[in-house]
Amino acid sequence: MKAIKSLAAAAIAVASFVPMASVSAINTTISDINVTVTPPTIGSAVGVTTCSETYDDQVYTWDCPDTKPTIAVPSGAHYSVASYSAYISGYPSTTENYDEYFIGTFAADTDYYIEVGLAPEEGYSFDITTTLDDDFQPIITNNVNATITGVTDYELNTWNHESQYMFYAKVRATAGGSSSSESSSTTETATSGTTYETLNGADQTFYTASDSGLTFRFNIDYAEFQESGNVYMDGEIVNSTNYTTKSGSTIITFNDSYTNSLSAGDHTMRVVTANGEATTSFTLKKSKNPKTGLEVASSFILLGASATGLAGAAIYAKKYSKNA
């Protein structure tokens, strides 16, 4: 996804690029970030309000959206959504021009773009190093592991040096309403429309120590899922990097790294599209599948029986030879 930087972001980048000596007091780096974006709701509207800024005693005003995206970071994360994001983020038009806001009603099967900046707490910096090449141009090394959930695509931008961190994201409106709280990043939705059937994988038990590729199959047209589908686990939207999909009707397979991160016990999975949803449940266990153990034990039993049979045959043959 090609990032088109806003003038505000560029100004922040210039202001934040300072000599390394001036940030020597920062001694704790942030190597992981986790941000959850709540997608907009199909049919919800963004109204217009007036924004203003003063430069050299001159007040400038313009139309801007009265609704901003809900963006959450974990409690105690040592970083927060930067204050300027309230100005440059929002829901711009359906192009990747982050200087143009979207004002209107969210539709299905449509991409919307946001621009989000993160600011570290005092005494912290993002794990990004900057050096200069022979032409005094910055060489930036990004060591931050980023997880952005609730979006269909995103691109990280590390040119903001230690003081800021930015990402550009593409989101799709989902059916029904959504809710979130300050202490939770869940985006459970209530939808109306078609209730799709779970064709395979419902109520299964998955053993992380021996099974691989937690898979479900839903009676959802694959083109529909590709256009507007989102996957939820226990009410929280799952980043598409954590699973793969294919047609037939819609088959979703979670990565082993993701299933290993889930807690043992019962879980609820939902697939939501613009036209309806499917809900299923499964049980996750942090042990090996006992069937595997039974198969191994059976092999040893059969092997023992075979060995006993061979020994018996040998003894019988020996006795027969002696009597002859």
Whether 115 and 96 have beta carbons less than 8 Å apart is answered as: no
- Indicate if the alpha-carbon torsion angle 156, 159, 164, 168 is positive or negative: negative
pLDDT of residue 292: 65
* 273-285 residue pLDDT tens: 888 889 999 999 9
User: Where is average pLDDT lowest: 47-61, 81-95, 245-259?
Assistant: 81-95
* Residue in the structure block whose two tokens are 């937690």: 214
pLDDT of residue 200: 94
Nearest to 36 by CA among 146, 139, 144: 146
Tell me the percentage of the chain whose pLDDT exceeds 70: 69
Residue 267 has pLDDT above 80, yes or no: yes
CATH, range 191-285: 2.60.40.10
Q: Return the amino acid letter for 266.
A: D
When pLDDT is averaged across residues 86-101 and rounded to a whole number, the result is 58
Whole-number average pLDDT of the chain: 74
Higher pLDDT, 181 or 88: 88
Cite the DSSP H helix spans in the chain: 7-16, 85-88, 222-228, 256-261, 290-323
pLDDT at 297 over 80: no
Instruction: Give the model's pLDDT for residue 94.
Output: 64
231: amino acid identity, one letter: V
Least confident of 45-54, 181-190, 232-241: 181-190
Answer whether residue 306 shows pLDDT above 50: no
Strand partners, 236: 233
Alpha-carbon distances, residue 90 vs 95, 148, 155, 265, 281 (angstroms): 13, 16, 16, 38, 35
Give the lowest-confidence range in 83-92, 147-156, 181-190, 262-271.
181-190
Rg, Å, the chain Cα set: 28
pLDDT value at 70 more than 50: yes
At 170-217, the pLDDT tens digits run: 888 887 543 333 333 344 444 557 899 999 999 999 999 999 999 999
Instruction: Answer whether residue 310 shows pLDDT above 60.
Output: no
In contact, 159 and 174? CB cutoff 8 Å = no
Which pLDDT belongs to residue 95?
A: 64
Q: What is the reported pLDDT for 270?
A: 92
> What is the residue extent of each domain of the chain?
7-178, 191-285
The yes-or-no verdict on residue 300 having pLDDT over 60 is no
What is the pLDDT at residue 107? 84
Sheet with 153-157: list strands edge to edge. 79-81, 111-120, 165-172, 153-157
H or E segment and range at residue 284: strand 276-285
More confident residue, 165 or 279: 279
Does position 30 have pLDDT exceeding 70, yes or no? yes
Quick one: average pLDDT of 260-278?
Answer: 89
pLDDT at position 83, please?
62
Using the predicted structure, report yes or no on whether residue 253 has a pLDDT greater than 90.
Answer: yes
**What is the per-residue pLDDT for 315?**
44
CA distance 324 to 319: 9
Distance CA 232, CA 150 (A): 9
